[in-house]
């Protein structure tokens, strides 16, 4: 049985648009010759279960798992491009947010404060922030940069932690931030962007490892067809989805390089 999942930007207010996008994409994949395309998206299984499922047809993953825990276990199909601030083609950036009234003018001003991360296996919520903080840690005399590290479990929860004064800083995927600001403005009310993280390739659409070159080519054909389908324009617009790029896997090496640079500066973990 094949499964499909598009969990990364499936915000509650955008669920209908995600379903509409999938319905059109499913039609395009079927027309391209892909057998057994699921009619509905899988939303019950956990992310790791989906990404490692033997019947995975298509899903979307973060770049950090792609280069780490999922290395060799999934195949990149294509990388989406989004029309929001901080994106350039298929590249994206994270926002580092604080409360509106916080006097901080830069990351250095958050020393000794509290930081929220969504997960230690996230590019947008952890690795890019660690990379940005590493030079500050290298200049520190001793001790951790922060008084507390709050592991929130998700970008929305990280935003809430800062908004509700349970943390003073959080790193959030810039696309998530833009979509949240548009569809649920109360979730970002009272927050401001302090700084931006370094650019990295966006969150790729992936399939299971080991599919044939012909099937991969057909999947890419179907995806690019759906991306140009005028009947799906409203769904793409709601998701701020502007297209797809076929990137080599090596394009994601920048994620490992960010991690290596932080480690070389003596800051392997946010602390």
Model confidence at 141, pLDDT cuts 50, 70, 90, reads low
Does residue 238 have a pLDDT over 90? yes
Model confidence at 31, pLDDT cuts 50, 70, 90, reads very high
Continuous H helices in the chain = 15-31, 47-51, 63-67, 128-139, 155-163, 174-183, 213-227, 233-238, 253-264
- Whether 165 contacts 102, CB under 8 Å: no
**pLDDT, averaged across the chain:** 97
Query: 121: which 2 tokens?
Result: 């296996």
Does residue 212 have a pLDDT over 90? yes
Claim: this prediction has a pTM higher than 0.85:
yes
Does residue 13 have a pLDDT over 70? yes
Structure confidence at residue 142 (pLDDT): 67
Rounded Cα distance between 204 and 220, Å, is 12
Q: What does the pLDDT look like over 165-181, one tens digit per residue?
A: 999 999 999 999 999 99
Structure confidence at residue 140 (pLDDT): 72
* Residue range 200-215: mean pLDDT, rounded: 97
> What is the distance, to the nearest Å, from the Cα of residue 55 to the centroid of all Cα atoms in its chain?
23
Structure confidence at residue 138 (pLDDT): 84
Strand partners, 116: 150, 170
Domains of the chain: 3-88+202-251 (3.40.190.10), 98-198 (3.40.190.10)
Map tokens 């598009």 to a residue: 6
């Amino acid at each position: 049985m094949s499964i499909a999942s598009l969990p990364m930007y499936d915000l509650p207010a955008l669920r209908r648009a995600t379903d509409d996008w999938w319905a059109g994409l499913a039609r395009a994949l079927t027309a391209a010759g892909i057998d057994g395309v699921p009619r509905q998206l899988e939303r019950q299984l956990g992310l790791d279960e989906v990404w490692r499922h033997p019947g995975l047809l298509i899903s979307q993953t973060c770049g950090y798992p792609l280069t780490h825990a999922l290395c060799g276990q999934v195949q990149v199909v294509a990388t989406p491009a989004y029309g929001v601030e901080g994106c350039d083609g298929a590249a994206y950036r994270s926002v580092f947010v604080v409360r509106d009234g916080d006097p901080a003018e830069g990351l250095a001003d958050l020393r000794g404060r509290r930081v929220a991360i969504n997960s230690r296996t996230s590019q947008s919520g952890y690795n890019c922030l660690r990379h940005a903080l590493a030079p500050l840690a290298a200049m520190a005399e001793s001790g951790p940069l922060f008084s507390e590290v709050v592991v929130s479990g998700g970008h929305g929860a990280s935003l809430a932690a800062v908004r509700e004064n349970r943390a003073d800083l959080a790193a959030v995927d810039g696309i998530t931030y833009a979509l949240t600001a548009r569809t649920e403005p109360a979730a970002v009310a009272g927050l401001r962007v302090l700084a931006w993280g370094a650019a990295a390739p966006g969150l790729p659409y992936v399939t299971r490892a080991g599919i044939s070159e012909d099937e991969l080519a057909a999947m890419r054909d179907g995806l690019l067809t759906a991306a140009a389908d005028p009947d799906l324009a409203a769904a793409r617009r709601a998701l701020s989805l502007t297209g797809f790029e076929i990137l080599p896997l090596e394009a994601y090496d920048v994620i490992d390089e960010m991690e290596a640079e932080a480690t070389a500066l003596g800051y392997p973990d946010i602390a």
